[in-house]
Amino acid sequence: MSILMNDATSVSVSILTRTNELFGITQKRVASGKSIFSAADDTTRYRVSETLLGRSGQLSDINNNISVGLATLETTDKTLKSMLGLVESAIDLASKAQNEGGVGTRNAATTANLDETSVVSGVSIGSRFSITSDGGKNFTYTFNSLSVTWGEIANALNAANIGVIAEFIPSTVAGQTNLRFRSTNGEDFTFDAISDQNAMDDLAGLTSPTGQVFNPNNLFANGVAAPAAGETGFTVAFGGQLTGTGAGVTLATPIAAGSSIVFEDGNGQFRTLNYGVATTVAQFIADVTAMGAGTRAELVNQTGGAGGPMQIRLRNMNGGNMKIVAASGDFAPAGALGMGGINTGFAAPLAPNNALRLAYGQQYDAIIENLDQLVANNPVPKGRNLLQGENISVPLSEFAGTPLKIAGVLVTAAGTLTMAQAGASWVNDQNIQISAQQAREAQKILLELQAQFATFNNYIRSRYDLNKAYQTEAKTQGDELVAADVTEESAKLTALRTRQDFAVQAIAISNQNAQSMLRLLGQ
């Protein structure tokens, strides 16, 4: 449809054009929420707004860097807490190890490196391995194979329930184990003479505090042969014992009439054996045994030397001292048996439970290793590990001032934390005590490190919160300076839409009027 322009139409078109311009501006303000879009709109407010919004952005960037520092400190704190937990466990292990050493046991351990898979070497088919407890219970293993292991023998002995068990314990040499024989009922025990010396020589290092010198070749039978006269076995004894000076004694050695001996038995009672007629060593041994008073008389190869010589021995089976208070005849110092006059064989202290101590020590050493691994694997952002001596620098403001520098500490278990005494050395109270002291010192050092880093954490956290508040405030103020009144602009938008409609209607009416006039004039 053509539009006929006249003054009214021209005014309406002009109004419609301006209304459309204002409509677009108002619509933009409503959509964006801003009333100022450039310096041309309002130079002062626009410039101040941009300054405030710029500072808000800078503070956001600064806080991003601060958050990395906070994450590093918080992760480090968690690692230190884990390390403290391990150190507390280490202190507990040291305490347990000391307590285990307080209760001794009757035991004898090898120094040879033996484990469950070690084959018993040099034995013959039919040769034996035999142990008898002082209570008379016996275990005898007869070899029916040349590939029997010490683990098989240990299992069989332990199943026999004779009051003696075999167990494999950590050695003081890293990575090795020793075989230990231990009394479970408080009795001494003997490796019997019928045991094959070829099996017994695997057990190098066996000792007895009041027993004999361990010499397998001279104390045990050779293969399946019967024991020789001087091969009397090896007794693990902790009670006091007295050995006669008479050499070459046998069961048939005579004891002259008028010989007597007075001794204190294993129960603390005085006992007297007075022989009015001649007798033999065999009868003397039988008489002491018949008393059932915790004292044993026996023939032994005390020195472990070749061929004996055998001597008579009195031994306290209950772990106390062995006392002879009087002796005469063949029991006198110059007699055939030479038991001595007033004499005391003192009991030995029970052996500490080093097996459990060393087992706890292995756990202690594992903790030391784990402490170093925690340090190495501290999961800090950007690879800045404060516990490996690496430093971090944290800018705290947007004004490019001097950043806060946090110095790291090179932490090692054996160095910084002082835990240098290994659990593998826990075979005596002194070494365990050193480890315990070092662990307690490590605990103190870790707590100090926690406090040191926590101070930085608290300070940086406060600055982070302050920056956050400034950032929010600056952005709010910057936005408000250029913000539009959405309610007002919405009302304008409605008014402009109405004006726009009126202008369009006015143009249409004006156009219709012009056309009507032309028709009237015959155009």
- Positive or negative, the Cα torsion across 191, 193, 196, 202? positive
Between helix 486-520 and helix 7-32 the angle, nearest 10°, is: 160
Question: What does each C-alpha distance from 65 to 57, 396, 495 come to in angstroms?
Answer: 13, 9, 50
Of 369, 341, 372, 361, the C-alpha closest to 432 is: 361
Give residue 142's Cα distance to chain centre: 43
CB 460 within 8 A of CB 76: no
**Alpha carbons 144 and 131: distance in angstroms, whole number:** 18
Query: Which run of H or E residues covers position 274?
Result: strand 270-275
**Alpha carbons 103 and 193: distance in angstroms, whole number:** 31
Residue 1 is predicted with a pLDDT of 47
How many C-beta atoms surround the C-beta of residue 408 within 10 A? 18
User: What CATH class does 59-101+354-477 carry?
Assistant: mainly alpha
Longest CA–CA span in the chain (Å) reads 181
The domain segmentation of the chain, as residue ranges, is 1-35+487-523, 59-101+354-477, 105-236, 239-351
Amino acid (one-letter) located at 64: N
Query: Which run of H or E residues covers position 157?
Result: helix 150-160
Residue 100 is predicted with a pLDDT of 75
Question: What would the two tokens of residue 167 be?
Answer: 């167990």
Q: Which residues contact 501 (CB under 8 A, 6 or more apart)?
A: none
Of 324, 101, 349, 163, the C-alpha closest to 238 is: 349
Question: What would the two tokens of residue 237 be?
Answer: 């004894």
**How many residues can be counted in the chain?**
523
Question: What would the two tokens of residue 413 be?
Answer: 């278990």
Residue 247 is predicted with a pLDDT of 83
CB 474 within 8 A of CB 56: yes
Task: Let me know how many helices (H) and strands (E) the chain has, helices first.
Answer: 9, 18
Mean pLDDT for back-to-back runs of 10 residues, the chain (523 residues): 54 62 60 59 63 58 62 82 94 87 82 96 97 96 97 97 92 83 93 97 93 90 93 93 88 94 92 95 95 92 80 92 93 88 86 80 92 87 76 64 75 91 87 94 93 76 61 59 57 62 61 58 56
Residue 356 is predicted with a pLDDT of 78
